[in-house]
A = this chain, B = another copy of it.
Amino acid sequence: MSVHSVKIVNILEGLLAGNDQAAERNKQRFSEAGVLTINIMSSPGAGKTSLILRTLAAIRDRARVGVIEGDIAGSIDTEKVIAAGARDAVQINTGGNCHLEANMVDRALDNLDLSDFDIMFVENVGNLVCPTHWALGEHLRLCVLSTAEGHDKPVKYPQMFVTSDAIVLNKIDLIELVDFERDFFYDSVRALNPDAPIFEISCRTGEGIPAWADWLLEQRKGVVSSR
């Protein structure tokens, strides 16, 4: 390992430790306010925003939902989730950064009143690798994979699947068109993560949304009861 590499590993470890502390403070704020917070991670275009929009339509009469939107650039998604019924939403532009960090969420919270919400979605930057290292203060980590990405993604990006508390398999309406091998996918996920629930969903048709929405509302009860 070169001198450069030793230096950067040391500094990255310091940054990650600082991030973990900031994440712990965020989590405490969310928990004290009774706000179930979900860190949504996926490749670009797997359907994070579409999932939030569909979930909003399904639960907005049963829960008050906020959204923190992370993107490298643009504010397309924030406008969409507000239109779909989110109580409030904040856009974080990472300015080139490939993942959200806890201090970005901390700053977003300056613009949100947590007493307004029951559930907070934090949409991470589209990336199956880097976000896994950076806790944000979430109660749940959700991985969204689309059938169009292929059944081999758990083998190629194992850390994402190891660290997720739940997995959404989106674009299930395309499964026959994209040669997605369901058994291969389930076997490889189960080898990495035996317990995380897997929800098969189509954000396009709405298939599978009710079961996912009901599960999510159940998880929120755990945050409230532990206050």
Contact = CB atoms under 8 A, between A and B. Distances in A.
Contacts of A146: 45, 148
Q: How large is the interface on A (under 10, 10 to 19, 20 to 34, 35 or more residues)?
A: 35 or more
A153 B73 contact: no
A11 B18 contact: no
Contacts of A73: 155-158
Interface string A100-138: 000000000000000000000000011111100000000
Interface string A141-156: 0000010111011011
A45 B150 contact: yes
A174 interface: yes
Number of copies: 2
Contact of A126 (B14, B43, B125): B43
A83 interface: no
Interface string A61-83: 00000000001111010000000
A11 B8 contact: yes
A70 to B, nearest CB: 10
A174 B156 contact: no
Given A45-B149, A149-B45, A171-B148, A126 B15 contact: no
A174 B148 CA distance: 10
A7 interface: yes
A44 to B, nearest CB: 5
A153 to B, nearest CB: 6
A130 B130 contact: yes
Nearest 10 A-B pairs (CB), nearest first?
A45-B149, A148-B148, A98-B129, A43-B43, A43-B44, A45-B150, A74-B155, A44-B128, A98-B130, A8-B11
Given A4-B18, A71-B156, A126-B128, 13 more contacts: A4-B11, A8-B11, A8-B12, A43-B149, A44-B128, A44-B156, A44-B157, A45-B150, A76-B152, A98-B127, A98-B129, A127-B130, A130-B130
Interface of A: 4, 7-8, 11-12, 14-15, 18, 43-46, 71-74, 76, 96, 98, 125-130, 146, 148-150, 152-153, 155-159, 171, 173-174, 177-179, 204
